[in-house]
Amino acid sequence: MEPAATCSSDTVWHPHAVTRVERERLNGHRGMVIWFTGLSGSGKSTLAQAVGQRLHEEGRRIYVLDGDNIRHGLCADLGFSDMDRQENIRRIGEVARLMVDAGLIVLTAFISPFTADRQRARNLISPGDFIEVYCDASLAVCEQRDVKGLYRKARAGLIREFTGISSPYEPPSNPEIAVPSGLESVGACVARVLAAVNPRIDPA
């Protein structure tokens, strides 16, 4: 901030930029990213919304980034090629970084199939404030669920570059937490995520 630079100076009051730490103290918790990754149908959005709901009920400031609010807006200009997927995840990582700086707990729910892209997102966030949650459900389970009918379309060749079918998914090798979302209930998976989040939640 350069008060004298851009506005007539004020001899009494010295404004300063509000810091992340000040915001976190106001909120009573740290900002952080809870990054859900996994195949289509592995439970990312459901878990992100459910964990977010629980945290909100405890008075935490949360926000869920997912395809619904990203793909039609900030990333509406992007497709599903490898290059566009990379740029999509880059922008999501940057938005998450801003929201963490704003003091929020950001829950992201994107397939984010490439290890390098997830690593880049992680690198934007302070160590300890990026919690990668691998929604571990097998392709067979996700394809059998197929509630949106996307796997059927992909198998029929109607969707190109569909993760797990015609585009690779690279599972995390060392996520903060892996939840067996192909086997366990939403409630059980939520409890696992919260157990990883809660020890990190108090502000500085």
* Site residues for its own copies per CB under 8 A: 1-10, 12-13, 15-18, 22-23, 26-27, 41-47, 49-50, 52-53, 56, 59, 61-65, 69, 73-74, 91, 94-95, 97-99, 101-104, 124, 145, 147-148, 181-187, 189-190
CB of 179 to its own copies, least distance (A): 9
Q: Which lies closer to its own copies via its Cβ, residue 106 or residue 174?
A: 106
CB of 193 to its own copies, least distance (A): 12
Q: Which lies closer to its own copies via its Cβ, residue 167 or residue 181?
A: 181
CB of 51 to its own copies, least distance (A): 9
What the block records as the tokens of 47 is 């878990």
CB of 147 to its own copies, least distance (A): 4
What one-letter code names the amino acid at 199?
Answer: P
Q: Which lies closer to its own copies via its Cβ, residue 32 or residue 189?
A: 189
Instruction: List, by residue number, the catalytic residues.
Output: 112
Burial label, 102 (beta-carbon count in 10 A; 0-12, 13-18, 19+): middle
In 43-100, DSSP assigns E strands to: 62-66
Residue 66: CB atoms within 10 Å: 17
| Alpha-carbon span 53 to 51, nearest angstrom | 5
Look-up: residue for tokens 């571990």?
Answer: 136
Q: Which lies closer to its own copies via its Cβ, residue 27 or residue 126?
A: 27
Q: Measure the CA angle with vertex 108, ends 121 and 203; round to 5°.
A: 80
